[in-house]
Amino acid sequence: MQSDKVKLAILDMNNNEPNQGLRCIVDIVKSFKKEVDFEVFDVRAKNELPDLSFDIYISSGGPGSPLENEPWRQPYLNLIQNLWDFNLKSNHQKKHVFFICYSFQVVCHYFELGEIKPRKSTSFGILPVHKTAAGKKDIILKGLDDPFYAVDSRDWQLIQPRLAVFKEHGASILSLEKIRTHVEYERAIMAVRFSKEFIGTQFHPEADPVGMYAHFSEDANKQKVITNFGEAKYNQMMDRIDDPDKIIKTYQHILPTFIRRAIKQHTQQLIS
């Protein structure tokens, strides 16, 4: 890796299961190739983890229970705690971390921000996400509509926030899941800013509409969605993939904004 470039670690949490998310993350990171060198670490399948020499860390989504106690878990949480502690102790250089879906749930459970529980049914599709008052002011969501749309694919959720713990950590809730007037279930927390440098979403901001359209147009993938969620859900998703006001905005804004801000702050730290 060249020393004049920002170092970025992608933490692959997919446990060897086929997915589109990792490809999407890599594609977004590659768009910053003039400023960023990156490396992918297979956390759950190979117990691979980066050291503390990286400047930016993006931890992916993944399948299964975020509460599983496998060999990768404690080393992964040790890394997250070490990055958190580094930022607390360092006055200038900071480590920037983004957590997506599965990783978000694991870390919210670790920081005891609320309850991580199974959903009554899988949330799947391109769905509206509503900003909180804090989310309307946060740069990571600024420029997006309210509600904005994002790819949601999860069997678990963060609910029942422990507001005293949020206050203790200096964390804030940025968004909540869609409003469902026909049910009485608590709305899940969809994005959290843990600190100036740590942020995470329970949805998939990396989802690429072009890649998604190609993937779900394939007959095998189409039939899988229809079998699991119905033809109406499939048709709704495909219509929303094409909509220029929906996930393309989310894809172009959230992760790129996070990376751009991290690069800018890293550069300023080097100058100062």
pLDDT, tens digit, for every residue of 102-159?
999 999 999 999 999 999 888 888 999 999 999 999 999 998 999 999 999 899 999 9
266 Cβ contact partners less than 8 Å away, ≥ 6 residues apart = 6, 55, 56, 93, 96
Strands 172-177 and 189-193: antiparallel
pLDDT at 179: 66
Report the sign of the C-alpha dihedral through residues 266, 197, 60, 41, in that order: positive
Burial of 117 (0-12, 13-18, 19+ CB in 10 A): middle
Residues near 219 by beta carbon (within 8 Å), at least 6 away in sequence: none
Residue reference for tokens 């768009």 = 31
Which among 57, 111, 59, 47 has a CA at the least distance from the CA of 81? 111
Contact assessment for residue 81 and residue 52, using Cβ atoms and an 8 Å cutoff: no
3-state secondary structure (DSSP) of residue 95: coil
pLDDT of residue 272: 55
Percent of the chain surpassing pLDDT 70:
95
Residue indicated by tokens 């779900």 = 216
Residue-level pLDDT at 202: 96
The structure tokens 């996070």 sit at 258
Confirm if 221 and 215 have CB atoms less than 8 A apart: yes
pLDDT in tens, 9-63: 999 999 999 888 999 999 999 999 999 999 999 999 999 999 999 999 999 999 9
Report the pLDDT value the prediction gives residue 89, as an integer from 0 to 100: 95
Rounded CA Rg of the chain = 18
Model confidence at 185: pLDDT above 70 = no
Per-residue pLDDT at 13: 98
Q: What pLDDT sits at residue 1?
A: 44
Give the confidence band of 213 by pLDDT, cuts at 50, 70, 90: confident
Q: Which domains does the chain have, with CATH numbers?
A: 6-120+127-207+249-271 (3.40.50.880)
pLDDT averaged over every residue in the chain: 92
Q: Report helix, strand or coil for 34.
A: coil
pLDDT attached to residue 186? 78
Least trusted range by pLDDT, from 81-90, 110-119, 197-206, 235-244: 235-244
What type of residue sits at position 123? S
Classify residue 34 as exposed, middle or buried by CB count within 10 Å of its CB (0-12, 13-18, 19+).
exposed
CA distance 219 to 48: 34
Mean pLDDT along residues 217-233:
90
| pLDDT for the residue numbered 270 | 65
User: What pLDDT is attached to residue 2?
Assistant: 45
